[in-house]
Structure 1
Amino acid sequence: MSTRSVKQIIAAVSVSDGAGVKIKRSIGLNAQLRFDPFLMLDCFGSEQADDYIKGFPPHPHRGFETVTYMLDGHMLHEDHLGNKGHLKSGGVQWMTAGRGIIHSEMPQQEAGLMRGFQLWLNLPAAEKMKPAAYVDLPPERIPQTEPMPGIRVKVIAGNFQHAGSTLAGPINGLSTEPQFYDIRLSAGSELTITLPEQHHALLYPFSGEVTVKTAANHQQVKEHQAGLLTQGSDVTLTAASAVSLLLLAAKPIAETVVQYGPFVMNSAAEIEQAIRDYQQGTLTNAGPASQITLNNPA
């Protein structure tokens, strides 16, 4: 059994996207700052409406998956498939763009705090052109556990393993086997989590800072930093003061990534085809939508 440590820190940088939404981007700032299969990780959060009010008007995607996790606030998703989903505090939207989807994400509030994340997760070449799929997960569909006093974990995807017990999240069965946890640690607490040994994994504290503990050293990951972890089985987290963080892990794909804005493929020729398909109105021509299989579907 090997313990994971921090191998690289990527500090989030303030940028804007969509129609001027202010975000903090860590993974995906440039092509060298991807972490297979994680393409991009954005954190948005503001009480100033001007920072988010214009939202993300209709735009296309091809070749990957997007995961939007809303901590606070209310956004509306609409897409060309006819899906219409209200993403509210604590909810998750998991979308497989596949061959192509055109969607929008627009704020449904004119004031107050809007805070959350969007993750871009790559698809292997064999799945990049499959039909699009979409699912809404309201807060009550996301299981949580308190593995010990002062610690709470929400399991959005994968299987949370701790001290010999397992809690399965609603999203499972995808080829990259993603693990997506929202972890809250109180001051002075310590948590050891078992992850699939060959998965790439990272931490992102969005409130406070966390320490990754190994026998050799203690490595700190500060607020709004992505801490990329070495491969291994266990990761031990400690908190000197209260911290909230995401822990993400997934099976690497090990394929060439070629990206042009909202299109992520394996070659320049495939990118050029995606652009032509979008311009000609055929990006989304793939028959009926596919399905994302859920554990314990409602």
Structure 2
Amino acid sequence: MTTTAHDTGIVSRPRPVERLVAGQATSDGAGVKLTRVLTQPLQRRLDPFLMLDAFGTDNPDDYIGGFPDHPHRGFETVTYMIDGRMRHRDSAGHEGLLQNGGVQWMTAGRGIVHSELPEQEGGRMEGFQLWLNLAAKDKMTTPWYRDIQSAEIPQFTTPDGVTVRVIAGASHGVAGAVQREITEPLYLDLHFPPGARFEQPLPAAHNAFVYVYRGSLEIAGTAVPRERMAILSNTGGGDGAVLHADAPARALLIAGRPLKEPIAQYGPFVMNTQEELFQTVRDFQSGRFTAA
């Protein structure tokens, strides 16, 4: 879905970069190598987002084990595949194939067990997984899952030539593939030609960050190199983000309304209190995550 959009929102006071963050190399699942960009210490600052992992390799040994059966409760996972094929299966009976340019959006809610396993033995696998928190009132909601194929993601090109893929929220009058009323996430994948500039209005109260995964960007006077996350400042009355690329670049722009609720996390479980976590572990151990 591709359209041409005109600038419908101009940013008059660009948000500056508060700080740059380099991700931490780690592994998850059955030894899948990845970079944890948004780590647990940043959860309060970037509320409602809990985690962002970036993965990208041409070596099958780095990803072939995939992510065998594992549980989640209390949040949503958003997996965006740039290259590669991954098969999803879960305890609620959902199954889907995540492939080039597609998104898997899963609401774990009250509890789900799922697996994400590669459907390739060679070639490149690259993408991102974002964890989006659920409000306390929604943590025990019914699990939900949607596969969004690449062609279903709304896409437009700005007059400056920036290609914008709108995974969630809205940009320049184009509504994204997914909307959420409480956290109001904005999730954009931006592709810059040389010399291009992109502006995105943002509500003052929303937390926002940019992750550059190709090339480099300049944001309000700060150079942001490849594989760095720029946390955008909430102070100073900024009304949006302005990004500029001297050379070809690609980046994610992610923002959302903070929940301002307690966060209690134990691995793949995110609740509001320690007692809720203890109950979650008991529920999982007693097999209560397996029911549809």
Question: So what's the TM-score if we normalise by structure 1?
Answer: 0.90
Letter in 2 for 1:177: E
CA distance in 2, matches of 1:16, 1:130: 29
The 5 Å alignment of 1:202-281 reads 202-213=209-220, 218-231=221-234, 232-281=238-287
Is contact 1:10-1:225 (8 Å) kept?
yes
> Is 112-121 or 236-245 further displaced after alignment?
236-245
The residue number in structure 2 matching 1:131 is 142
> Is 85-94 or 233-242 further displaced after alignment?
233-242
CA distance in 1, matches of 2:36, 2:86: 20
Displacement after TM superposition at 1:172 (Å): 1.1
CA distance in 2, matches of 1:26, 1:37: 15
The residue number in structure 1 matching 2:191 is 184
- Report runs of 4+ in structure 1 exceeding 4 Å deviation: none
The 5 Å alignment of 1:23-172 reads 23-28=34-39, 30-32=40-42, 35-161=46-172, 166-172=173-179
Displacement after TM superposition at 1:284 (Å): 5.1
Letter in 2 for 1:262: P
Q: 1:27 to 1:252 in 2, by over 3 A?
A: same
Displacement after TM superposition at 1:32 (Å): 4.2
CA deviation profile, 1:112-158 (whole Å, cap 9, x unmatched): 00000000011111111111110010011101111124311000100
CA distance in 2, matches of 1:7, 1:55: 35
Describe the SS at the equivalent of 2:184: coil
Displacement after TM superposition at 1:75 (Å): 0.3
How many residues end up aligned between the 2 structures? 277
Is contact 2:77-2:131 (8 Å) kept?
yes
Letter in 2 for 1:275: V
The residue number in structure 1 matching 2:3 is none
Say yes or no: does 1:14 pair with 2:14.
no
CA distance in 1, matches of 2:265, 2:224: 28
Is contact 1:99-1:284 (8 Å) kept?
no
CA distance in 1, matches of 2:201, 2:17: 16
Letter in 1 for 2:25: S
For structure 1, the residue ranges without an aligned partner over 5 or more in a row are 289-298
Q: 1:47 to 1:68 in 2, by over 3 A?
A: same
CA distance in 1, matches of 2:181, 2:91: 23
Displacement after TM superposition at 1:76 (Å): 0.3
CA distance in 2, matches of 1:131, 1:38: 20
Cα root mean square deviation, aligned = 1.3
CA distance in 1, matches of 2:51, 2:290: 23
Describe the SS at the equivalent of 2:64: coil
Describe the SS at the equivalent of 1:256: coil
